[in-house]
Each structure stands twice: as structure tokens, then as C-alpha cells.
Structure 1
Amino acid sequence: MIKVVIADDHPLLREGLRRILEFEPGIQVVTEVGDGQGAINIARSLTFDILLMDLNMPGMNGLEACRVIRRERPEIGIIVLTVDDSDEKVFQVLQTGVAGYLLKDVFPKTLVNSIRKVYSGEPILAPSVTGKLLGQISTPSKNKNSFGLSKREMEILRAVARGSSNKEIGISLYISEKTVKNHLSNIFRKLEVEDRTQAAIKAVKLNLVHLE
């Protein structure tokens, strides 16, 4: 059972999300909160898997709450669900290491699929979000250090930066998802990062990948 917490300051939206998710097999909404501090309090007191987090809330906002929860409960998959798709906000949020970034006009099925993907350990780094991320990154450095990445690892890193899933990477490179995961573990270790979002950010900053 995937246990979900909803953090949003609009009761109507919380109710709508709950109604969507309660009809999905294997998903349970355990509680709802209306601000960032409430999300932190719940993360400190309850065991759950996925946090749907709004950004613009009264008191402590969602961005600050993401930072605290990621530090204290890194095993919780945070999916940001917001109306704010500004380049600056996307960049700030992705730097916290959240598992996904979705807009509130997302189709219900896409939201449900995203929850399942994050629960299975596959963060959602959509190509559109990657594009916004790249637009905020300053001029890449001239660093020639490859960090010991092999040719195959570089191929996978480029695919990650483009927003490809493990399944898509495996299909394109004719390797299994398990092999992709093994390569990603090595990439994270060599780049000294914790997840694919941080790997994509670092790869672009250090000019390890070039995306159009």
C-alpha cells in the first residue's frame, strides 16, 4: 500500500486529490495538511511514502518544508504539485532533491502514474522541467574532469539529463533496467550526488553533457 500525504492550503483541492486517489487500488491518503510546517510535523510523526506538496502556502512555504523534510526524512518521495512553473522556482525546487515536479493542471492518470513511479524509486524528471532547469544554469565550467565515468555511464548520464526514465534508457541502449540502475549507482558515487536530479544539475554545470 502506497501511503500518501497531501500538503496544500486549499481545502477544495485537497478534497479533489483525495477523491482521485481513494479510488486507486494500492494507494491510501493517510492525512492532509494546509501548510509547510504541518507537512514537517507529519513527516516527523507518521510513516508514509509520498508527499504531494504545494509551494505557495501561508507561514512556512513548500520550498522550505521540502528542504527540511529531505534532510530529516530522505526516504519520503516528495512530488511538488503547484501552479508555479517559473524557471527560477523549478530550479530552486529541483536543487532540494525532490522526486517530482508537476503542475496542478496535470491529468489525474498522470498524477497517479507519477506516484507509482516515485514509490518504485524512479523520480520524475520531465523533459519540460529539464528545459527550464537548463535555462537557469550559468555558463558551464571548462572542467575537463570526467570523474572517471565510462563511455556507457556518460551515455546514461546524458539520457538522465534529458529526462529519460530507466525503462526508456534501457530500451534505447539495449540493456536491462537493472543494469541501468547499477550504472546509475556508480554515476551517483563518482559525481558525489544522491539522486538523478542532482546528477543532471551537476553534469550540466560541469559541462559533462550538452543538451539542445
Structure 2
Amino acid sequence: MLKILVADDHPSFRRGVKDILADGFEAVKVGECGTAQELLEQVRHKKWDLVVMDISMPGRSGLEALKALKAERPTVPVLVLSMHPEDQYAIRMFKAGADGYLTKASAPEELVHAVKKLLAGGHYVSASLGEKLVQSVKQGTEKPPHELLSDREFEVLCLIGSGKTVSEIAEVMHLSVTTISTYRARILAKMRMKTNAELTRYVIQHGLGL
């Protein structure tokens, strides 16, 4: 029997994915979890054929959770299913270890197709993302400032953009206030900005945010 784990903090969405998978596969057992910690515990203690996960979950960020998951189970295929735009997050998630990326607006049959491709040992990107990547390579497009940030810096940028203070970000990321302040200084330098207000405006304009 095929075993798939769905990690998302919205029970109704997990139920929808579960129903789609049940319709798309004859024999499938779908597990559920709602936080990054639960995801890692499930992966650590049970054997799964594939994981479908969101980027935004309580606890660790999706990037950190994905890296930790791959450290525990490097051979388990991971499909990221997120509300965030492909062109903003997909490449970063692939670098962190994802095997496929879909937005939640994708059709049910595309989800089933993506899962089948990953189970067969392949990778999955949508046609629209593939086209964007080709255009980017052909045009030699200059990278936007946020793509110059490390994963940690990118997470801090998104949290600043969501209105969180340095202290709140330190609590969320389980780091010291001093460390977060250092990240913030690096972000401002790399983005060539001076205030949190400028960073927040950038995050909103580019559709970022965890």
C-alpha cells in the first residue's frame, strides 16, 4: 500500500488533498500533520513513500523543516504544495531538497500527476514555471535583491515584512535577538535599504511572506 504524508496547518485543506489522492490512487494510506515538528516526528518514526508539505506551518519555517526532513530521510520524495507564487519560492525550495513544487491553485489532476512523477523517481515543475525558468536563462535576467539573501536572511526578511519585531522573530526562529539583529543588518546592506518600512514595502510588492 502506498503511504503519503500530508503536512499543512489547515485541516480542511489536508482533507481535500487526502480526497484527491484517494481518487487518484487505488491503494493509498494518507497520514496528516499540522506543524513542522509533527512532520519531522512522523518522518522519523514511520516509513513514507512521499511527503506533501506546505511552506508556512507553525514552528520551523518550511525551508528549515524541508532541510531537516531530507537530513533524516534523504531518499523520500517531497512535493511542496503552497499558496506562494512559484517564481518566488520554487527555486529556493528545490535547493533545500524539494523534488517538486505546485501552487494550491493547481488542478487536482495536476497534483496526482506530480505525485506519480515523483514516485517514479522524477522531479516536477509546472509548465508555467518551466517556461519562466527558460525565459530567465535566455534573457540573462538580473536577479532581484531578495535572491541574493541566504535562506536564513530570506526568512528574516519575510518575517519583518509580516510586521514582526526583532524580538518576535528571535522567538519564532529560536535564535537570539543579537543574531536576528545581525541578519537584519545584512539584509538591509544587501537590499540597499535603510528601514524596516522599506523592507516591508518590498515584501508586499513582490508577494513574499512566510
Range class of TM-score, shorter chain: 0.5 to 0.7
C-alpha separation in 2, matches of 1:80 and 1:112: 13
State how 1:16-165 maps to structure 2 within 5 Å: 16-85=16-85, 87-130=87-130, 135=136
Q: Structure 1 counterpart of 2:5, which letter?
A: V
- 1:20–1:87 Cα change, 3 Å: closer
Deviation at 1:120, TM superposition (A): 0.7
Kindly tell me: are residues 95 and 11 of structure 1, through their superposed partners in 2, closer, same or farther at Cα, counting changes over 3 Å? same
* CA–CA separation in structure 1 for the residues paired with 2:77 and 2:24: 18
Q: Are 2:3 and 2:31, in contact at CA under 8 Å, matched by a contact in 1? A: no
Secondary structure at 1:23 match in 2: helix
Give the length in aligned residue pairs: 140
C-alpha deviation, 1:22, in angstroms: 1.8
> Which residue identity does 2:104 align to in structure 1?
K
1:144-202: CA deviation from partner (whole Å, max 9, x where unpaired): xxxxxxxxxxxxxxxxxxxxxxxxxxxxxxxxxxxxxxxxxxxxxxxxxxxxxxxxxxx
- Specify every segment of 5 or more residues in structure 2 that has no aligned partner in the other structure, as ranges: 144-210
Post-superposition CA distance 1:33-55 (Å, at most 9, x none): 00112111111011011111000
2:5 maps to which residue?
5
- The answer on whether the counterparts of 1:3 and 1:30 sit within 8 Å (CA) in structure 2 is yes
Q: Which amino acid aligns with 1:120?
A: A
Distance 1:26 1:57 in 2: 29
CA separation of 1:21 and 1:94: change in aligned 2, threshold 3 A: same
Q: Which runs of 5+ in 1 are unaligned?
A: 141-212
Alpha-carbon RMSD across the aligned residues, in angstroms, is 2.4
How far did 1:12 drift?
A: 0.5
TM-score, length of structure 1 as denominator length: 0.59
Q: What is the TM-score with the length of structure 2 in the denominator?
A: 0.60
Q: Give the 3 Å change call, closer, same or farther, for CA 133–92 of structure 1 in structure 2.
A: farther
Counterpart Cα distance in 2 of 1:34 and 1:107: 22
Q: Which SS does the other structure have where 2:51 is aligned?
A: strand
Q: What fraction of aligned residue pairs are identical, expressed as a percent?
A: 32
